[in-house]
Structure 1
Amino acid sequence: MGLPGRWTVAVLAAAALVAGCAPHGDPAADGVRGTVEAHHRAALGGAPLASWTYRVLAVRRDGRRAAVDAELTYALDGYDAAPATTRRRLDLARRDGRWHVTGDRPAEGQPAQLWDQGPVRAVRGARSLVLGVGHPRALLGEVAAAADRAAPAVAAAWPGGPWRGTVVVLVPGSLGAMAALLGEEPAAYRGVAAVTTGRTGGGSADRVVVNPEAYRDLGDFGRTFVLAHETAHVATRAATTAATPLWLSEGLADRIAYRGTGRTAAEGAPELARSVRAGNTPAALPADADFSFGGDPAAVARAYGGAWLACELIADRWGGERLADFYRAAGRSGARRAFRDVLATTPEEFTRAWRDRLRQEFSSAPSR
């Protein structure tokens, strides 16, 4: 978006930028920090900032102009357990003996930030912060209300851990804008109501990013379900690593989102039910590739349904606390070892039990 009011940067501050840092305690340098922070407080629509820091990586000067590569680190007060970090490109021009920042945009290869897409409006819920571009406050309030319903349900299902019990939801103006925030092509998220960003293993600022075009087609149940599912990913992030199979992370998120809804297996997994009733019981637990965005929607739906029922099986047979223990162990050392150490079984034995469970839920076909 445009830069309202232009930022005025003192000569001393520009020299400090060239040097790679601006020393704390210098009134001019501190004034620049305050100017930049004040601008972005406005750009973020009043969202509460705990910190906002630029670290200069490189400076290229050409006479009265300069380009600065910088790392931006910021955290939302009361919501982020760890800061978000991205790289930015700032353009400066020297006029009237002073430097002025004339542009601030994502560095090459970096995704857009929400404030790059227009003025940000912030709505705070009891357990949520919703930041949107191009939407009326009433719509953002509805998203906050759905997130507020989801967060306590997730907290009850996943107690403990570093999660703060709150969630930040971004609502960009369109599917294309959503994809830009994620650094992907729009086709990858068509029909996907929301996704969660953040690094596995925690240590990052998680965001639930809503696809407004798919989200608005959902009813009240669907909206609350989607936000509960994505909030579950935020809650479990610290226990989720590259070793966690997607059937476990997606299945647990669905189990948490379905809790207390009264949905039956057939209602929650209709595509899988049709497949099993037709005699096509899956031979193995869903592979990571089965959850790919942009894939065959029916196949993706079967993968999610199978993952959900795998987690339900663990909870029914071993208990909900043991399911949480299994999840954490899988993140530390992989699912195969977690099956042995936590559930005293093997992946093969569990898969046979899961296939039997699917047939019992969806058909009268005999076990084989």
Structure 2
Amino acid sequence: MPALTAPSSRAAARRRAAAPVLTAPAALTALAVLAALLTGCAPGRHPGSARPVGDAAARQLLERRAAAVLHHDKAAFLAGIDPRAQRFRARQTAVFADLAAVPLAAWSYTLVREDAFRLPPAADGTRRTAVEVRLGYRLRGYDTEPVVSTAYLTLSQRAGRWYVAGDDDGAPSGHRTAVQLWDQGPVRVVRGAHSLVLGLGDPAALRGYAADADKAVPRVTHAWGSGWPGKVVVEAPATLDQLAELLGASADGYRDIAAVTTGEQGANAQAPADRVIVNPEAFAGLSAFGRQVVLTHETTHVATRLATTAHTPLWLSEGIADWVAYRDSGRTAPEVAPELAADVRAGRVPAALPSGADFRSTAADLPQAYEGGWLACRLIADQWSPGTLTAFYRAVAEGGTLDTRLDAALGLDRAAFTARWRTYVRQELT
């Protein structure tokens, strides 16, 4: 399938289709104990439940578990799992092995609440309870601060000792333990000059992701500047279904999306690096040029996240990512924006800059939204300067109205900028 020509392939080359709501880079399961960030539900208590585990006992259990994961101590890790929870123990044994190659720099648990949710005794009368736990982990050489999330673990007490007995029966209704890459199989690691690829499946494909990411990083730094780590982590499941599991979403919603970037928006200087997660099926259908565009676009999101806040409109965040990706491509505007070009030739010039709703995966004109955002950013870079564009992006994140920021950067209010953008779209696409 030629990249960036048909609507489906163009959507595949775009960032995160409708901005999936992810609060941390890919949630870990019970071994990883990283689940989707739970809301403040107050689950009920089971009548007749035994007394909860004490803080000290739970903390000691979690400290031993964290040390075992970090130091690859299988015996110590298994010693903390309920010996009678055979299915859970077997699953944890496999996941422990699948995690072995991941270059962990840190792994720690924080007990948020003991007795977070009381459970009925097991069939043999064993006391059980659930604890709310927060995991922090860092990848060596890539994360400056821990990636953090929250989960509920089931603990059981036997002969006065507490064990981890499960991860799927202590969460409040409506929540579930999310899936991480090492829950899906053995993780292979490929190290590039500017990238770290954690993946499943074909090693040659993983090396290809690393090569594309290594080309993307210098391009992003050239356009955005050096105010970011200058490296990227790519996660590569082997199938579309595995991608959907990682994102806790329907596979249909990501079928035509080649890659997504996880992470919270927010100007937090201590935020960990994002992860770029590849959809291997859509990615494989792209040309070499399309694959490079995808990873350069996603890497731009990694670089700009610390300067991206709720004040940043999607046309700007997506537009600048495409501007970086296509900046030195040599492609004409109609080649890069074929859907919007077709609309313009038919007399349908957009009346307004793309809205947030225009970037939803179900939006009828999703490709046109990306193309319109790209042209808005290209307009600023062309008629002012690339430095004006990046400075404007950073200024918008600091707050204030968009009119104020446009006036300060360009000497135009939103209405005047929109009018100039409409003229530019018409001129460039006809």
Quickly name the TM-score band, shorter chain normalised. Answer: 0.7 to 0.9
Secondary structure of the structure 2 residue equivalent to 1:21: helix
Q: Secondary structure at the match of 1:46?
A: coil
- Deviation per CA, 1:53-79: give whole Å up to 9, x if none: 111233457425454331111111211
For 1:75, give the aligned amino acid.
R
Deviations 1:2-56 (A, max 9, x none): 97xxxxxxxxxx977555533xxxxx98654321322687543422212111112
- Please give the alpha-carbon distance, in whole angstroms, between the structure 2 residues aligned to 1:77 and 1:284: 45
2:242 is paired with a residue of what secondary structure?
A: helix
Is 1:73 equivalent to 2:125 in the alignment?
no
Paired residue for 1:195?
A: 260
Deviation at residue 265 of structure 1 after TM alignment:
0.3
Alignment of 1:316-335 (within 5 A): 316-333=382-399, 334-335=401-402
SS in 1 for 2:133: strand
Flag the 1:32–1:81 CA change in 2: closer, same or farther, 3 A. Answer: closer
Contact 1:41/1:49, CA 8 A, preserved across alignment? no
Q: Please give the per-residue CA displacement for 1:323-356, whole angstroms capped at 9, x wherever unaligned.
A: 1111011111242221011211111111111111
- Aligned-residue identity in percent: 49
- Measure, in 1, the Cα distance between the counterparts of 2:167 and 2:203: 26
Give me the TM-score of the superposition, normalised by structure 2.
Answer: 0.73
- Give how far 1:187 is off: 2.3
Q: Amino acid of the residue matched to residue 176 of structure 1?
A: D
Q: CA deviation at 1:86?
A: 1.8
CA distance in 1, matches of 2:153, 2:277: 26
- Bigger mean CA offset, 231-240 vs 186-195: 186-195
Local SS of the residue matching 1:142:
helix
Counterpart for residue 68 of structure 2: 35
In structure 1, C-alpha distance between the alignment counterparts of 2:403 and 2:99, rounded to whole Å: 44
Equivalent of 1:122, from 156, 165, 189?
A: 189
Which of 234, 238, 243 is matched with 1:173 structurally? 238
- For each residue in 1:288-334, what CA deviation from the matched residue of structure 2 results, as whole angstroms up to 9, or x when unmatched? 111112333xx111111111111011011111111111101111124
Structure number with the higher helix fraction is: 1
Counterpart in 2 of 1:52? 107
Distance in 2 (CA, whole Å) between partners of 1:50 and 1:167 is 16
Name the CA distance, whole Å, in 1 between partners of 2:425 and 2:63.
63
CA contact under 8 A between 1:92 and 1:99: conserved in structure 2? yes
More strand by share: 1
Does 1 or 2 have the higher relative contact order (CA < 8 Å, sep 6+)? 2
Q: 1:278 to 1:347 in 2, by over 3 A?
A: same
Aligned residue for 2:283? 215
Which of 334-343 and 60-69 deviates more?
Answer: 60-69
Report matched runs for 1:211-360 at 5 Å: 211-296=279-364, 299-333=365-399, 334-360=401-427
In structure 2, stretches of 5+ residues that fail to align are 1-28, 32-51, 75-94
Residues in 1 aligned to 2:203 and 2:111: alpha-carbon distance in whole angstroms: 36
Indicate the residue corresponding to 1:83 in structure 2.
146
Unaligned segments of structure 1, at least 5 residues: 4-13, 23-27, 364-368
d(CA) in 1 for partners of 2:407 and 2:229?
Answer: 31
- 8 Å contact from structure 1 (residues 200, 237) kept in 2: yes
CA distance 1:318–1:2, shift in 2 (3 Å): closer
Give the SS at the match of 1:282: coil
The alignment status of 1:148 with 2:214, answered yes or no, reads yes
Q: RMSD over aligned Cα, in angstroms?
A: 2.6
Aligned-partner SS, 2:398? helix
Aligned mates of 1:122, 1:41 — CA distance in 2: 16
1:116, distance to aligned residue in structure 2 (A): 2.4
CA contact (8 A) 1:44 1:121 kept: no
